[in-house]
Structure 1
C-alpha cells in the first residue's frame, strides 16, 4: 500500500472517531466548541513552537518553499475571483471563494511527520506564519464585499485578529528561538512538546465531530465546483509553482499535500459570522474531508515523477 495512504488511514480513522462520538452523543455537541478553542489557543501553538524552535533548517529549501506556497494561495484567490461573473448569489460565491483558498493545515501536520519525516515536519510547521494572515485577509474582504451580514469588520479589527493570532505568534517565537538557540532542551522545550502532542488527536476528532453529511445536498453544482477547485486545481497550482521555484523532493510532495488538503472548518464559522452561505460551506468541508483520502495520495504520488 502507498506509504502516504497508509499514513492517512489512522488520521481519517481519528476523524471518523470524532464523528461517531458526536453522533452517538457520547460527547455533547456544545463540548466540541471547548475542544476547538483549547486546541487552537494552546495546544496547536505549543506544537508549532516546539517543532519550529527545535528543527534543523540547514540545507532545507525553506525560502523557495515558502515563496511557492504563498504564491499558491494568491493564485487560487485570483482564480476564484475570476469566477465572480458566474450567475451565483453573493453569499454562495463567498463560500465558493473560501472553498478554493482555505486549507486544513491540521491534517497536513498530522501527515507530515509520518509521511515526510523530520524535514517535512519542519517545513509544514513553517507554512502557518505567512498563510494564516494572507488567507484570512482575502476571505474577510470577499465576505465583506459579497456577504449579507450587517456586521462588517473594520481594518483595525482584522489587523488585531491577525497580530494576536496564537498560531502566528507561536511560529514567530519558534523561529526566533531557533535562530538564537534558545529552548532547544530543558523544561520549557519539554512542556511545549508534551502539550503539542495532545493537539492533533483532539483537533482531528473535532474535525470529525463537525462533519455534516446533510449539507452535501446544498447547491450540488456549486459544491462540485468548489470541491474541484480544492482537490484538482489547487494541487496543480502548487506543484507547478513549486517546480518554477526549483522545489523538489520532499518539499514538492509537501506542496502537493498542501494543495490537496480538505477545506477548513474555520471557513464555516466565518461564513456564518459574515453572511456567507454556511450550508454550502459545511457541505464543502464534509465532501473535501472525505475525498482528500483519495486526492492527497494521488497528488503526492505524481510529484515522484517530477
Structure 2
C-alpha cells in the first residue's frame, strides 16, 4: 500500500472522530469555536515556528518551490475568474472562486512527516508564508466586488487582519530564527515544540466537527464545479508549474499536495462575513474534505512518478 495512503488513514480518522464527537454531543457545540481559536491563534503558530526554524533549507529547492506555490494560486485565481462568464449571482460566484483557490494546509501538514519526511514537512510549513496572504488578498478583493453585504467592508480592518494573521507571523518568525540560528534549541524552543504538537490533532478534530452534510444540497451543480476546480484542476496546475520551474522529487510531491488539499473552513467564515453564499461554501468544504481522501494519494503518486 502507498505510504501516502497509509499516512492519510490517521489524518482522516481524526477528522472522522471530530465529526463523531460533535454528533454525539460529548463535546458541547459552543466549545468547538474555542478549540479552533486556540489551535489557530496559539498552537499552530508555535508548530510552524519550530518546524521552519529547525529546517535545513539549504538542501532543498526552496526558491523554485515557493515560486511555483505562489504561481499556482495566482493561476487558479485567473482560472476561477473565467467562471464569472457563467450565469450566476455574484455571491455564488465569490464562493465558487474561494472554492478553487483556498487550501486546507493543515491536512497536508498532518500528512507530510509520514509521507514526505522532515524535508517535505519543512517545505509544507514554509509554503504558508507567501500563500496565506496572497490567497486572502485575492478572496477579499473578489468578495468586495461581488459579495452582497449589508455594510461596506472595512478594507483597512481586513488588511490589518491579513498582515497580523498568527499563521503568517509564526512562519516569518520561524524563518527569521532559521536564518539567525536562534531559538532552535533550549527551553523556549522545547516549550514551543511541546505546545505545537497539540495543534494538528485539535485542528483535524475541528475540521471534522465542522462537516455539514445537509449543506451538500445547496446548489449541487455549483458545488460540483467548485469541487472539480479544487481537486482536479488545481493539482494539475501546480504539477505543471512545478515541472516548468524545475521542481522535482519530494518538493514536487509536496507542491502537488498543496494543490490537492481540500477546501478550508476559513472560506465559510469569509463568505458569511462579506456576503458570499455561506451554505454553498460549507457544502464545498464538506465535499472536498471527503473526496480528498481519494484524490490526494492519486495526485501525489503522479507527482512521484
Interval containing the TM-score (normalised by the shorter chain):
over 0.9
Q: Answer yes or no: is 1:291 the counterpart of 2:288.
A: no
Q: Hey, what does 2:85 align to over in structure 1?
A: 85
Q: C-alpha displacement at 1:154, in angstroms?
A: 3.4
Q: Answer yes or no: is 1:116 the counterpart of 2:151.
A: no
Q: C-alpha displacement at 1:58, in angstroms?
A: 1.3
Q: C-alpha displacement at 1:157, in angstroms?
A: 1.6
Q: Hey, what does 1:46 align to over in structure 2?
A: 46
Q: Hey, what does 1:190 align to over in structure 2?
A: 190
Q: C-alpha displacement at 1:165, in angstroms?
A: 0.9
Deviations along 1:74-129, one digit per CA (max 9) or x if unpaired, are 00000000110100111111110000000001001000111000000110110111
Q: Hey, what does 1:36 align to over in structure 2?
A: 36
**Contact 1:218-1:283 at 8 Å conserved across structures:** yes
RMSD: 0.8
1:84 match: secondary structure? helix
Q: Hey, what does 2:212 align to over in structure 1?
A: 212
Q: Hey, what does 1:244 align to over in structure 2?
A: 244
Gaps of 5+ in 1: none
1:93 match: secondary structure? helix
**Contact 1:137-1:158 at 8 Å conserved across structures:** no
Q: Hey, what does 2:202 align to over in structure 1?
A: 202
**Contact 1:95-1:271 at 8 Å conserved across structures:** yes
Matches of 2:151 and 2:140, distance apart in 1: 11
Q: Hey, what does 1:234 align to over in structure 2?
A: 234
1:58 match: secondary structure? helix
What is the 5 A alignment of 1:13-162? Answer: 13-162=13-162
Q: Answer yes or no: is 1:258 the counterpart of 2:258.
A: yes
Matches of 1:274 and 1:176, distance apart in 2: 34
**Contact 1:19-1:205 at 8 Å conserved across structures:** yes
Length-normalised TM-score, structure 2: 0.99
Q: Hey, what does 1:267 align to over in structure 2?
A: 267
Q: C-alpha displacement at 1:152, in angstroms?
A: 3.0
Q: C-alpha displacement at 1:271, in angstroms?
A: 0.5
Q: C-alpha displacement at 1:23, in angstroms?
A: 0.5
1:118 match: secondary structure? helix
Q: Hey, what does 2:280 align to over in structure 1?
A: 280
2:85 match: secondary structure? coil
Matches of 1:158 and 1:212, distance apart in 2: 27
Q: Hey, what does 2:223 align to over in structure 1?
A: 223
